[in-house]
Structure 1
């Protein structure tokens, strides 16, 4: 088998649209055995999948058609062409995706997991240069994109803020984009103005990725969020079709929720509970778009009412930097998501997510730190997933996803079993 067994099994479950429990029954094994096959190879409980199981699963998904995820059929064409913007291999909006193309991207991300987990290395982008142009504050997104590009063998040039850019001297977006295109092979752009990244993209033919355009969109964040939800649901034996998703906080200016709800709307029968302070409701045009596929959208003002029975809670901070006036100072204490309210209204298998950063200062009333040791909190698993997703984005846009698997080799350095000091509390979660 030329792909990892974890990617092989996850892909089989996605294609068959089966939970882990049902899939285990379908292939005639215990759920615990399946769980050990899906664990990272560095885990103490990891077990190699028997070859007979691999052959049986391949037969179930029609004689090995599972492997076609890395070599798209002539009829469909390469993934980079199917998500192209006006013929260009760029990622500006999640509107470029269908459910099928999203899941194709996730199969590439599955393939990237051994590299993201620091077990393997690949040099398929050796010699390529990424321009990280961040005209707005960023830590996670900027470093994550840079790390993803480097882990595929590329190198990164960064610029941050307007102060040290020629745009402070009056240079246009068009000129900046065209000039940078002569220096780098791909660009990630973050800009405070909605629509600005699309303007950058129109001025060049090289791959451009939207790293966040003001209150507009944040496609890569939404993709990693959806990938996290599907991964967590696989572990919990749930399907996204028919799930209950609660989105809480600043839904007016929060670009992550704008992109995520569009992707979630590709699935069927999803119930959305939108909970926000007055004046920070989700824009109506996004609600209209998310209402397709038989999805139900309910807007709530009570936090408890919105969280009741949710499979996923997605919290966002107040985007004060986007307020034209001081129209809203933040969340009141009765709007804070903490362990007490989740215990009261949600079950033990609810997933709690946040795009980060969360405001942990006293009085901010953002997602509470008292959830830090609660396995329902998925925020760090969520951020970790940013690497394989962004690696997949670069590999697809630059047309090298078919080369990655055969280019992998073992790492030569030592790395910790658990990245964070508290991660052992979640040992066995995958």
Structure 2
């Protein structure tokens, strides 16, 4: 895959080699993320960050990633602050913003909207999530985290056993992650969800067509057994027609330290795309897990900066120039 000048819209654009390229470049970003070095390779460039749906981690990490490479960021947050509310088309918006920026990161509540926007863009567009459809950068950072965590505990990647738990119907993160992991050999997927929220057939077909084993269960204890990774998700209540319908499923699956001790194998890695819903009637990932060394959710979130830095470097064609633009960090940091 030739990244330079390309849009990053779907994980379907990637083959295994392309994924490994992103992961390799992301690893090179570690000294900048840890503030051991500075990098100004994108000095003079501008990122347009267009987030038309609520976001904390993805929006801020896209901006931080661009800043850490020396670029500047301009933001539009919320549909109400854009001319889309005045009837402007996605095509027209893309044409205009392309004149202001060198690259665009975008989130939108409607499926395939970012792809539609990219048709009008003359600079690279990176999908930060399009409704219930896809979240390609999250899938890449999740894959990076899985490999990094397995290395941390000293487990060889001969076979990966992963349970994905919760709202698998509406969760774009699990859709994209399943597609990425299907590119690698010997993956055993366990999908844990209520019948009404099970993984879409087309995603399960991708896993099975790649030769992987797929298991489906509604029982959490069964799904947790003998896994290398457990990937918890919240109920995507914003995707339901009514709050009452969403409430039927909130709190159905809860992972606590006691449940972990009773049903998970030693060193099972726990992931979550965040935000986790810590309200008492949901609480899918209990805060009593916070001291568990295998809770990877904050390392996972931080890895998002590395992945997004890598994608900026690749799409703007500067991935081979990083060392030439390094300098020393001159401020105090606890990183």
TM bracket (short chain): over 0.9
2:62 to 125, 140, 145: 145
Find out whether 1:80 has 2:11 as its counterpart.
no
Determine the structure 1 residue equivalent to 2:160.
243
Determine the structure 1 residue equivalent to 2:21.
104
Cα distance in structure 2, aligned partners of 1:374 and 1:269: 27
Which structure 2 residues correspond to residues 131-280 of structure 1 after superposition, within 5 A? 131-280=48-197
3-state SS, counterpart of residue 85 of structure 2: helix
Cα distance in structure 2, aligned partners of 1:331 and 1:358: 15
CA drift at 1:133: 0.3
Cα distance in structure 2, aligned partners of 1:90 and 1:185: 12
User: What's the CA shift string for 1:26-68, capped at 9, x where partnerless?
Assistant: xxxxxxxxxxxxxxxxxxxxxxxxxxxxxxxxxxxxxxxxxxx
User: What's the CA shift string for 1:55-113, capped at 9, x where partnerless?
Assistant: xxxxxxxxxxxxxxxxxxxxxxx7415xxxxxx51100111111111111111111110
3-state SS, counterpart of residue 174 of structure 1: helix
3-state SS, counterpart of residue 48 of structure 2: strand
Distance 1:333 1:134, change over 3 A: closer
CA drift at 1:342: 1.3
User: What's the CA shift string for 1:207-254, capped at 9, x where partnerless?
Assistant: 100000000000111100100000011122223442110000100010
Contact 1:241 1:267 in 2 (8 A): no
Contact 2:52 2:79 in 1 (8 A): yes
3-state SS, counterpart of residue 92 of structure 1: coil
1:355 to 249, 266, 273: 273
Contact 1:318 1:330 in 2 (8 A): no
3-state SS, counterpart of residue 79 of structure 2: coil
3-state SS, counterpart of residue 209 of structure 2: coil
Contact 2:228 2:267 in 1 (8 A): yes
CA drift at 1:114: 0.2
CA drift at 1:189: 0.7
Cα distance in structure 1, aligned partners of 2:43 and 2:12: 30
Distance 1:193 1:240, change over 3 A: farther
Structure 2: which 5+ residue stretches go unaligned? none
Question: 337-346 or 312-321, which moves further after superposition?
Answer: 337-346
Determine the structure 2 residue equivalent to 1:371.
289
Cα distance in structure 2, aligned partners of 1:144 and 1:292: 34
Cα distance in structure 2, aligned partners of 1:341 and 1:210: 36
User: What's the CA shift string for 1:100-153, capped at 9, x where partnerless?
Assistant: 111111111111100011111111111100000000000110000000001000
CA drift at 1:267: 1.1
Determine the structure 1 residue equivalent to 2:326.
408
Cα distance in structure 1, aligned partners of 2:104 and 2:33: 21
CA drift at 1:338: 1.2
Structure 1: which 5+ residue stretches go unaligned? 1-77, 82-87, 418-430
User: What's the CA shift string for 1:316-342, capped at 9, x where partnerless?
Assistant: 100010112443315465521111111
2:247 to 317, 322, 329: 329
Q: State TM-score, norm by structure 1.
A: 0.76
Contact 2:95 2:122 in 1 (8 A): no
Find out whether 1:382 has 2:286 as its counterpart.
no
Distance 1:306 1:170, change over 3 A: same
Contact 1:330 1:364 in 2 (8 A): no
3-state SS, counterpart of residue 127 of structure 2: strand
Cα distance in structure 2, aligned partners of 1:330 and 1:211: 28
Cα distance in structure 1, aligned partners of 2:139 and 2:157: 15
CA drift at 1:357: 0.4
Distance 1:334 1:134, change over 3 A: closer
Higher-RCO chain (CA-CA 8 Å, sequence separation at least 6): 2
Determine the structure 2 residue equivalent to 1:33.
none
Question: 240-249 or 178-187, which moves further after superposition?
Answer: 240-249
Find out whether 1:281 has 2:198 as its counterpart.
yes
Higher-Rg member (1/2): 1
Contact 1:336 1:365 in 2 (8 A): yes
CA drift at 1:355: 0.4
- Structure 1 segments (4+ residues) deviating >2 Å: 237-241, 324-328, 330-334
Determine the structure 1 residue equivalent to 2:32.
115
CA drift at 1:160: 0.7
3-state SS, counterpart of residue 173 of structure 2: helix
Determine the structure 1 residue equivalent to 2:12.
95
